[in-house]
Chains A and B, each alone.
Chain A
Amino acid sequence: GAVVSQHPSRVICKSGTSVKIECRSLDFQATTMFWYRQFPKQSLMLMATSNEGSKATYEQGVEKDKFLINHASLTLSTLTVTSAHPEDSSFYICSAGPGGFNEKLFFGSGTQLSVL
Chain B
Amino acid sequence: KNEVEQSPQNLTAQEGEFITINCSYSVGISALHWLQQHPGGGIVSLFMLSSGKKKHGRLIATINIQEKHSSLHITASHPRDSAVYICAVPSNTGNQFYFGTGTSLTVIP
Contact = CB atoms under 8 A, between A and B. Distances in A.
Interface stretch (B14-22, B37-45, B58-66, B67-75): B37-45
Interface stretch (A11-19, A66-74, A99-107): A99-107
Tell me the dominant secondary structure on chain A's binding face.
loop
Contacts of B30: 101-102
Interface residues of B, number: 24
Contact of B35 (A41, A42, A105, A109): A105
A91 interface: yes
A110 B97 contact: no
A41 B50 CA distance: 28
Q: How large is the interface on A (under 10, 10 to 19, 20 to 34, 35 or more residues)?
A: 20 to 34
A101 B31 contact: yes
A107 B99 contact: no
B53 to A, nearest CB: 17
Nearest to B31: A102
A103 B42 contact: no
B33 interface: yes
A42 B44 CA distance: 17
B107 interface: no
Interface of B: 30-31, 33, 35, 40-45, 48, 50, 86, 88, 90, 94-97, 99-102, 104
17 contacts: A34-B96, A42-B101, A43-B86, A43-B99, A44-B86, A93-B43, A95-B43, A101-B90, A102-B48, A102-B50, A104-B33, A104-B48, A105-B45, A107-B45, A109-B40, A109-B41, A109-B42
